[in-house]
Each structure stands twice: as structure tokens, then as C-alpha cells.
Chain A
Amino acid sequence: MKQPGSIEEHVVIRVTSKMLIPYIMIFGFYVIAHGEIGPGGGFQGGVILAAAYILYCLVFGVEAGSRALPRRAVEATMALGVLFYAGIGVLGMFRGAAFLDYRVLLSDPASAEPLGMTLVETGIGFTVAAVMITVFNMITEPTAVSGPENAPETGESKGSATS
């Protein structure tokens, strides 16, 4: 719903952010992939990825944002990212080495080590991005304290914040 003077009316902002968002995401992926040999990694890259989504929501509205990334998918990604991380660790165990030993992932330990690290960072990146997006979603969406019948003693009105 467009209101006069709202951010959605500014053509410059809309066009610029549309152009920027893909590059922000690419930079996020770059930081994740780069984490193995330089500054960066899953945490930083994940936050950058989430920033792209948050920018999208700020400019095009929360509804458009949740259409682009359904809430359930974000919630699932939170767990999936860490699962991917731990899964790589367990893979090492199945190959007869210690938990999180990447050297056995490929036949050549020298290339398996960076591969394992990059994969693990990718998992972290997705989880961090999903968590950041969830935090943003929780702030913007009306809080739904899904309380059942039992009313609290304090008698204060249940969450009725509107965005």
C-alpha cells in the first residue's frame, strides 16, 4: 500500500536498491567463500546476505519480502545451515577420522582441507543469514503471542503491535 511520500514512491531508491541487491548478495557469497584464506567467513558473509534481504524489505515492504522468502523457509534454513556444518563433521567420522576432520573428504588432503572449510563456512553463512532475517522479521511483523485460553494474572493486553 503506497502512501504519498513513502519510501516506495521514490524511484531513485527503488531502482538503485534493485541494482544493488544482487551485488550485495554476490559480495556476501564472496566473503563466505573467501573466509578460508582471508578475513571474512560464514558469520560476516551471512550478515551481508541478510542485509540484502533487509534492504529489499525496507524498500519494497515486508509483505513483498515475505513473499520472496517465506518465513517457514527461513526458519528451516536456520537449522539446515548448522546441520550442513555438523553433517560435514560427521562425514569425517564415517570416513574413519575424527569429527570435523576434513582431510579425509577427498583423496588429496591438501585440497580436502580448504574444501571442508569452505563447505562448513557455507553452512554457517546460511544459518547466520537466516537468524538475522528472523530477527528482522520478528521486529517488523506484529508479535503473535499465540497464547491459549489461559489468561495471565497480570492482565496486560497481549501483543498488539502493528507494523
Chain B
Amino acid sequence: MIDTHLPALVVVLPLLGGLLAVFAGRGVLPWLWATLVASATFAATIALLMKVQAEGVVTYAMGGWQAPWGIEYRVDALSATVLVVVAAISCVTTFYARLSVAKEIPKDRHNFFYSLWLLCQAGLLGITITGDAFNIYVMLEISSLTVYGLIALGGNNDRRAFTAAINYLVIGSIGASFILIAIGYLYMMTGTLNIADMSAKLTEFYFKDEQLYGTKNATIYVAFAFLMVGLGIKMALFPLHTWLPNAYTYAPSAVTALLAATATKVGIYMTIRFYFTIFGVQFSFGQIPNRVILMACACFAIILGSVIAIRQTQFKKTLAYSSVAQIGYIVLGFSLLNVSGIAGSIVHIVNHAMIKGGLFMAVGAVAYRTRVTSLDALSGLGKRMPLTMAAFTAGGLSLIGFPLTAGFVSKWYLVTGALESGLWPLAIVVLIGSILALIYVWRMIELIYFAEPREDAPTREAPWSLLLPTWVLIGASIYFGIDATLTGGLAESAARMLLGNP
């Protein structure tokens, strides 16, 4: 009985939970409630993934209105994987949030914080699960607006969070409007909002038009152009990434961990959905030189993101620019258009969520003990906070792509994909990216283990409730580096589904 409602529950649980969190009062209760809701949501996504693996695509008609008229929730191998990642990270970061939020956010805002927190998760999960193009936009707005609020809550610590939030608000709203315009144009041309239906109509309509009249349908091209820019902003692809570094740097620690691990990943998921499922490979990459554009942006993101990361003096900003580079890897992966490349993309969505989530949690633990955010605050912490710094080091190695870490698996897939396509310069870009990552990670590791502690350095290890979630994610990234059969298998089946040969 309950498992027929699983797709709805994945969104309804955090939605209702987030609204109820407002009434949880002050103290520890809002956090407890949020943890409970996030755990229940995580359990629901696991159940959903198992159901999808057993039965194939799972669908749910909202309000009993059947697709293509009503809003359909549709879970396939790709969305089930992303759902589990988002819900898992949300669950772990919620557990992590208690102390961090208690320190960084005024007491009378805790219930609102957890309300926004859960609503943001509802939005992110909603984008992933829905099979309706307009619903994607609605959920996108839910997640974006809550994220702006969550970032601004960091303004209590550092008032630059307000500017970062406003900056993201303006850029993000432009991105969202572009996506809305594109969906509007697509609706105009196809008369449907259901993704599967829209995709079928679009392909038939577009290619028929071209065969019969020899003309190209400008509306579809304009829609695609709007989408490329809008989605580029939402996933922070290189020239459109400017909102990301400040937003990640000044947001509260727990929010940064959640954002870095999930928000841009869901943006990439949306991009894959629009390019591969709605427009189809033939249009997205055949009719438009999209592949070259994406590859160029991705290569610039990898090289320039890493170079800028090396030059940063704040550890949160280094990690933020490293995220820009990692998004480059993911985009590079799916623009290769072969199974290894797309699988590399999806594997890296999973792996990078664990790695960056863990890393931001580790630096959040440092921020919990010391207020300083400059790079040299890490000096000598290898002795003072050995467990936190061990997690940080393991995460850093994974970022480089050291063998036996999750990052290695992703890069293996990417390099294989690039070589399969015969594009060996791209394989070299991936390797250069790793070397640059080695430089910025080594700068921090050198400070951690070989520098003398500062006078104001923390003297105690981080509390266990911050350490445990950090190690859960870092541990998972090590586990999936050694045994990648689960992530690799899911990613490859999703990649084959996207390319249309299951």
C-alpha cells in the first residue's frame, strides 16, 4: 500500500516536515524533527531505488490525473540514483547541522532555518523525481528561494553573506527565468508539459518540419539557447559560475556542505534530462554545435577553476573554486556522448557529492573551533584535530583522483570515455586538472601537517557529532573508491538508458 505512494512521499515528507518545523519552537526540537524527516525521506528513496531496480521505471500520477495531462512523477535508473544521493547527503548534513547551526545562527531563527532546510530538500528531490517540465521549474524555484534564504542566514557570522545571497538571487533568478521561457516555448510548440510526451512530439515535429519544408524551426532553437544559459547558471558551468564561490564561502557551514553536495548536482541532473531525454541526443548534439561549446566550457572550468583555487587565501573559497572545476569534469563526461563518459559523469555526481560534502563538513568543524577562515588557520591542525584533518586529507586525495579513492574511479571513467571517442587532448585536460588539484590540496595538507600551530589555533578535536557525519561521507567515498561496482553499475545502466540502448 505505502510503496505505491513512494514517489509522492519522497517530496511530500520534507515538504510537510519543513512546514511543521516552524512550529517546533526553539532549542533542540527543530533539529530533532528535521533529522527524523530527513531520515524518513532517505529511507523512502532507498526503497524507491530498490523498487526501480526490481521493476524498472516507477510512475505516479499526482492527484490521480494521468500523464500527459496531469503531473507525473517518474523514477528511472538515473533519477533514482540522484534521489538517493540527494537524500543521503541531506540526511547526513542534517545530523551534522545541530552544533554548527547552534553556533552560527541566532536561536530565534532555528525553526525557520530547519523549515527552509527541509523545504530546500523537498525542492531538490522534486526536480529530480518529476516527469513534468513545468513542475521542474516550480521545484527549482522552491529549492532556489530557500537556498537564497539559507545563504543569507550566514549573514550573522559575516555580513558578506548578504551580498553573496543577493548576488545569487539576481543571477539565479535570471537563470530560472531563462529556463521558464524555454519551457514556455517548448509548450508553445508541442502543447504538452509531460517530459516523455514532449520529447516524442518534439522529435517527430522537428524532424518532420525539416524534411517537409527544409526549414529549421526557430522557436525550438531559441528554447534550446535559453535552456543552455539557464541551466549553465544553475549548475555553475564555467563562465556562468560567478555566484558560486561567494555563496559557498559565506553560507553557514552546514548549508555549504548541503549546497556543494546537492544543489549543483541537481542542476547537472536537470541539464542531462533536458539535453538527453527531452531534446534527444540527435537534436542537442547533432543540430547544434553544443558538444564543442560544452567541452570548451568544461575544459576552461577544469583548468581555470583549479588555477584560481590555487590562488585563494581562504580555505572555503579554495574548495568552492575546486567545485567549479569538478562541475567541469561532470559536464565533460556527458558531452563525450559515449557510455563510459556519461557513466563517468554520473559516477562523479555521486562521488563528488560525498567528497565535497565531507570536505566542507571538515572545514566546518574547523570553523566551529576557530573563527578564522584564512588558509593559514589550518596550520598545525594535524596535531590539534587529527581526526578531522585525517578526513580532510582523505577527501583531498579523492579530489586529486588518487588511486583507491572515489575520485580515481570517476577520472578513470572520464579518461576511458575521452580515449574511446578518440579525443585524447581531453584526457590530457583531465590529467592536468588532477595535477592542479594536487597543488591546491597539497598547499593545505602541507600547512596542516608541517606548519606550527597558530596562537589562536583550536586546542581540541571537533565534537563527535560533527566528526561522525564527516567520516560517514569520507568513509563512503573511500569505500566507493575501492569497490565501485554499485555506483559504476548504476551509472552505466543510467548511461545506456540515456543513449537509448538499454
Contact B12 A99 (CB under 8 A): yes
Rounded to whole Å, the gap between the CB of A115 and the closest CB of chain B is 14
Cα A102 to Cα B62 with chains together (Å): 11
Binds A, one of B155-163, B356-364, B377-385: B155-163
Residues of A within 8 A of B109 (CB): 146
A147 and chain B: residue at smallest CB distance: B156
Residues of B within 8 A of A76 (CB): 22-23
Residues of A within 8 A of B1 (CB): 96
Contact of B63 among A100, A146, A150 (CB under 8 A): A100
Contact of A154 among B5, B15, B160 (CB under 8 A): B160
Residues of B within 8 A of A108 (CB): none
B61 and chain A: residue at smallest CB distance: A98
Contact A154 B64 (CB under 8 A): no
Contact A101 B63 (CB under 8 A): yes
Q: A93-B5, A100-B62 are in contact. Are A152 and B158 (CB under 8 A)?
A: yes
Contact B8 A99 (CB under 8 A): yes
Contact of B106 among A89, A92, A146 (CB under 8 A): A146
Q: How large is the interface on A (under 10, 10 to 19, 20 to 34, 35 or more residues)?
A: 20 to 34
Name B16-58 residues within 8 Å CB distance of A: 16, 19-20, 22-23
Cα A92 to Cα B62 with chains together (Å): 11
Check: B115 CB closer than 8 A to any chain A CB. Answer: yes
Cα A156 to Cα B158 with chains together (Å): 11
A116 and chain B: residue at smallest CB distance: B63
Check: B108 CB closer than 8 A to any chain A CB. Answer: yes
Contact A79 B63 (CB under 8 A): no
Name A72-88 residues within 8 Å CB distance of B: 75-76, 78-79, 82-83, 86-87
Cα A99 to Cα B8 with chains together (Å): 7
Name B133-184 residues within 8 Å CB distance of A: 155-160
Residues of A within 8 A of B63 (CB): 89, 92, 98-102
Rounded to whole Å, the gap between the CB of B66 and the closest CB of chain A is 10
Residues of A within 8 A of B19 (CB): 79, 82-83, 86
B7 and chain A: residue at smallest CB distance: A99
Contact A148 B156 (CB under 8 A): yes
Contact A83 B16 (CB under 8 A): yes
Contact A150 B157 (CB under 8 A): yes
- Per-position contact with B for A129-154: 1 when CB-CB < 8 Å, else 0? 00000000000000001111010111
Check: B443 CB closer than 8 A to any chain A CB. Answer: no
Check: B276 CB closer than 8 A to any chain A CB. Answer: no
Contact B15 A98 (CB under 8 A): no
Rounded to whole Å, the gap between the CB of A117 and the closest CB of chain B is 10
Residues of B within 8 A of A156 (CB): 159
Check: B454 CB closer than 8 A to any chain A CB. Answer: no
Contact B64 A98 (CB under 8 A): yes
Cα A75 to Cα B19 with chains together (Å): 11
Check: B208 CB closer than 8 A to any chain A CB. Answer: no
Name B371-401 residues within 8 Å CB distance of A: 371
Number of interface residues of B (CB under 8 A): 26
Cα A83 to Cα B418 with chains together (Å): 49
Residues of A within 8 A of B8 (CB): 93, 98-99
Q: A93-B5, A150-B371, A152-B158 are in contact. Are A86 and B12 (CB under 8 A)?
A: yes
Check: B315 CB closer than 8 A to any chain A CB. Answer: no
Residues of B within 8 A of A102 (CB): 63
Contact B157 A86 (CB under 8 A): no
B15 and chain A: residue at smallest CB distance: A86
- In the complex, which of the residues B12, B115, B160 has the most CB atoms of chain A within 10 Å of its own CB atom? B12
Cα A87 to Cα B108 with chains together (Å): 26
Check: B334 CB closer than 8 A to any chain A CB. Answer: no
Contact B22 A79 (CB under 8 A): yes
- Per-position contact with A for B423-459: 1 when CB-CB < 8 Å, else 0? 0000000000000000000000000000000000000
Name B200-236 residues within 8 Å CB distance of A: none
Rounded to whole Å, the gap between the CB of B246 and the closest CB of chain A is 14
Check: A55 CB closer than 8 A to any chain B CB. Answer: no
Residues of B within 8 A of A93 (CB): 5, 8, 12
- In the complex, which of the residues B23, B64, B155, B371 has the most CB atoms of chain A within 10 Å of its own CB atom? B64
Q: A93-B5, A98-B61, A98-B62 are in contact. Are A83 and B20 (CB under 8 A)?
A: yes
Contact A79 B16 (CB under 8 A): no
Cα A103 to Cα B63 with chains together (Å): 9
Cα A87 to Cα B19 with chains together (Å): 11
Contact B23 A90 (CB under 8 A): no
Check: B243 CB closer than 8 A to any chain A CB. Answer: no
Contact A79 B115 (CB under 8 A): yes
Cα A88 to Cα B158 with chains together (Å): 41
Contact A103 B22 (CB under 8 A): no
Residues of A within 8 A of B158 (CB): 152-153
- Per-position contact with B for A103-124: 1 when CB-CB < 8 Å, else 0? 1000000000000000000000
Residues of B within 8 A of A148 (CB): 106, 156
A152 and chain B: residue at smallest CB distance: B159
Check: A97 CB closer than 8 A to any chain B CB. Answer: yes
Check: B368 CB closer than 8 A to any chain A CB. Answer: no
Name B408-432 residues within 8 Å CB distance of A: none
Apart from A83-B19, A154-B159, what are 14 other A-B pairs with CB-CB below 8 Å? A79-B115, A93-B8, A93-B12, A97-B64, A98-B8, A98-B63, A99-B60, A100-B63, A146-B106, A146-B109, A150-B371, A152-B157, A152-B159, A156-B159
Q: Can you give 29 contacting A-B residue pairs, CB < 8 Å?
A: A75-B22, A76-B23, A78-B22, A79-B19, A79-B22, A82-B19, A83-B16, A83-B19, A86-B15, A86-B16, A86-B19, A90-B12, A90-B16, A92-B63, A96-B1, A98-B5, A98-B60, A98-B61, A99-B12, A99-B60, A99-B63, A146-B108, A146-B156, A147-B106, A147-B156, A148-B156, A150-B156, A153-B158, A154-B160
- List residues of chain A with CB under 8 Å of any chain B CB: 75-76, 78-79, 82-83, 86-87, 89-90, 92-93, 96-103, 145-148, 150, 152-154, 156
Top 6 nearest A-B pairs (CB, nearest first) are A101-B64, A100-B63, A99-B8, A79-B22, A152-B159, A79-B19
